[in-house]
Amino acid sequence: MKFRNFKMVGFVVYGRGCFDQLDEILAPHRKNNVPMVFLLDHFFQDKPLVRRIPLCGNDEIIFADVTYEPKTSYVDKLAQQLKEKFGTVSGIVGVGGGSTMDLAKAVSLMMNNPGSSADYQGWDLVKHPGVYKAGVPTLSGTGAEVSRTCVLTGPVRKLGMNSDFTPFDQIVLDPELTANVPANQRFYTGMDCYIHCIESLNGTYLNEFSKSYGEKALQLCQKIFVEKNSWDDDCDNKLMMASYAGGMSIAYSQVGVAHAVSYGLSYLLGTKHGIGNCIVFDKLEEYYPEGVKEFKYMVEKNKIDIPQQITKGLSDEQFDTMINVSMGMKPLWENALGKDWEKIMTRERLRKLFERL
Ligand code: NAD
Ligand code: ZN
């Protein structure tokens, strides 16, 4: 038995308004005449947050287009652009949702690694540390702020650059930044966290480390989405910590059926991670009976729409593509169903599941 020895985030600051400490936090990482680059979710274009970015010297703000989830081609373009303009940079600071977190991590790595980010999609393929990188989440749930991966869609696969060089050097957890997320988006990304917990806590990889974080994150999600009757600042505080703890939980375990299936949807149809997980989880009563029951209650209570029949009318070839992508997520299936998962989750059974989505 070999135990995972995993790299964690370097520094963490948490609290309402802690974003204002960013200037002080970045100061020791600034190199003479080498800019700090702020990668901001395009949602913040024309928003007051832009004026609070601690710019100095030749620092640059880039607005990240997150209409689609991050692609390797976009990462390569951003890194190339920065290399041409500045040679190198003091650091990359990502400010936004999970997509922006992943973009910031990937661009930081590609500043110091040759070739295309597509060459590094997989496990431990990255050879050199990236430039300094900090993450400031503005949407809670994915756990991308703590994870050792950054999920990218490449020419042949949707897979992260999983490596010890991937986690942020610094994260700034300021729940105030999540105040204005629309209710549907907040729910979809919040449910990503809820589903991380259910998949981790019901998985065969579970140990006391991931259980401790997973139970706490699950409890926080339940407080917010099951017990509370209206959204307030305290919900933002709690969901930000749930995301962090949920991410820590899967760091030492793995996700499961919902994620494996949702990757297939996302690859073929471009369905986004949060909503895709909700669409799939809604139909997983056979695998996670209690979690799915509670999920349905939360959907109803929070008056959220979960799209139905999104795979209706797809061709056999399209179903095969989704099945192939999904079946490729071996560790997820093994965590969910055990070593003999291939005997349990046959292609026929998976096809039936896809047809219900
Ligand atoms: P997202 O980052 O794609 O953002 C969703 C939408 O919310 C966007 O339109 C964005 O502009 C908007 N938004 C962001 N902050 C906002 C704010 N404060 N107010 C209003 N709108 C705001 O969504 P997400 O669910 O956070 O992230 C999904 C991505 O995270 C996917 O690309 C997925 O692959 C990735 N992910 C990564 C990991 C990891 O471990 N690295 C884990 C899970 C998911
Ligand atoms: Zn997820």
Q: Which one of 133, 150, 178 terminates a domain?
A: 178
Q: Whose CA is nearest to atom 19 of ligand 1?
A: 181
- Give residue 258's pLDDT: 98
Residue 4 is predicted with a pLDDT of 85
Torsion over CA: 313, 315, 319, 322 (sign) = negative
- Domain of 259, CATH number, reads 1.20.1090.10
Q: Are residues 221 and 249 in the same domain?
A: yes
Say whether both 25 and 155 belong to one domain: yes
Instruction: Tell me if 2 is assigned to some domain.
Output: no
Q: Which of 52, 75, 99, 153 to mutate to test the pocket of ligand 1 (most atoms within 8 A of CB)?
A: 99
Task: Give the residue, by CA position, lying nearest to ligand 1 atom 2.
Answer: 97
* CATH number for the domain harbouring residue 173: 3.40.50.1970
271 lines ligand 1 (CB under 6 A): no
269 shares its domain with 341: yes
**pLDDT tens digit string along 292-325?**
999 999 999 999 999 999 999 999 999 999 999 9
Same domain, 190 and 79: no
Closest CA to 192 of 101, 324, 80: 101
Atom of ligand 1 nearest to the CA of 149: 41
The ligand minimizing its distance to the Cα of 189 is 1
- The ligand 1 atom at the shortest distance from the C-alpha of residue 105 is 41
Cβ of 185 below 6 Å from ligand 1 = yes
Express each pLDDT in 136-160 by its tens digit: 999 999 999 999 999 999 988 888 9
In a domain, 40, yes or no: yes
1 pLDDT higher than 80: no
Asked whether 73 lines ligand 1 (CB < 6 A), one says no
Q: Which ligand 1 atom sits closest to the C-alpha of 192?
A: 43
Residues 305 and 224 in one domain: yes
Any idea what DSSP says for residue 15? S
Q: Are 21 and 173 in contact (CB under 8 A)?
A: no
| Residue 12 β-bridge partners | 171
Ligand 1 in contact with 334 (CB < 6 A)?
A: no
Q: Kindly identify the ligand whose nearest atom is closest to the C-alpha of 281.
A: 2
Same domain, 26 and 53: yes
Whether 166 and 270 map to the same domain: the answer is: no
Question: Residue 115 and residue 318: Cα distance in Å, rounded?
Answer: 31
Q: Which residues surround ligand 2, an ion (CB under 5 A)?
A: 192
Residue 250 burial (C-beta neighbours within 10 Å; 0-12, 13-18, 19+): buried
Q: Which ligand 1 atom is nearest residue 182's CA?
A: 20
pLDDT score of 268: 92
Atom 11 of ligand 1: nearest residue by CA position: 43
Q: How confident is the model at residue 169 (pLDDT cuts 50, 70, 90)?
A: very high
In a domain, 100, yes or no: yes
Pick from 6, 353, 2: nearest CA to 163: 6
Report the domain count for the chain.
2
Q: In the chain, which residue ranges form alpha helices assigned H by DSSP?
A: 22-26, 72-86, 98-110, 183-201, 208-222, 233-251, 257-269, 273-281, 289-301, 316-327, 330-337, 341-344, 347-355
| Domain-located, residue 5 | no
- Per residue in 193-239, pLDDT (tens digit) is 999 999 999 999 999 999 999 999 999 999 999 999 999 999 999 99
Q: CA gyration radius for the chain?
A: 20
Collapse the DSSP code of 183 into the 3-class scheme (helix H, G, I; strand E, B; otherwise coil) and give the result. helix
Last residue of a domain, one of 127, 160, 178: 178
Place of tokens 């494996």: 260
Are residue 90 and residue 195 in the same domain, yes or no?
no
Q: Which two tokens stand for residue 228?
A: 């509370």
Residue 244 domain-assigned (yes or no) = yes
Single-letter residue type at 236: D
Domain assignment of residue 341, given as a range: 183-356
In the reported structure, the alpha carbon of residue 192 is separated from the centroid of ligand 1 by a whole-number distance in angstroms of 10
Confidence of residue 351 (pLDDT cuts 50, 70, 90): very high
d(CA 1, CA 324): 30
CA of 351 to the centre of ligand 1 (A): 28
pTM, 2 dp: 0.97
Q: Do residues 20 and 155 both lie within one domain?
A: yes
Last residue of a domain, one of 149, 178, 207: 178
Residue 178 in contact with ligand 1 by CB distance below 6 A: yes
The alpha carbon of 83 and the centre of ligand 2 are apart by a number of angstroms equal to 31
Q: Supply φ then ψ for residue 2, to 5 degrees.
A: -115, 125
Reply yes or no on whether the pLDDT at 3 is more than 90: no
For residue 60, the CA-to-ligand 2 centroid distance in Å is 30
* Among 276, 255, 284, 267, residue whose Cα is nearest residue 320: 267
Report the pLDDT value the prediction gives residue 134, as an integer from 0 to 100: 98
- Whether residue 3 is contained in a domain is answered as no
Residue 183 burial by Cβ neighbours in a 10 Å radius (0-12, 13-18, 19+): exposed
Over residues 63-77, the pLDDT tens digits come to 999 999 999 999 999
Identify whether residues 148 and 199 lie together within a single domain.
no
Distance CA 138, CA 316 (A): 39
Q: Is the four-CA dihedral 180, 184, 190, 196 of positive or negative sign?
A: negative
pLDDT at 2 over 90: no
The residues facing 208 across adjacent strands are none
Do 243 and 268 lie in one domain? The reply is yes
What are the tens digits of pLDDT across the range 71-123? 999 999 999 999 999 999 999 999 999 999 999 999 999 999 999 999 999 99
Give domain status of residue 6, yes or no: no
The helix/strand/coil state of 123 is strand
- The model's pLDDT over 257-299, given as tens digits with 9 standing for 90+, comes to 999 999 999 999 999 999 999 999 999 999 999 999 999 999 9
Instruction: Mark whether 56 and 157 lie in a shared domain.
Output: yes
How much is the pLDDT for 6? 87
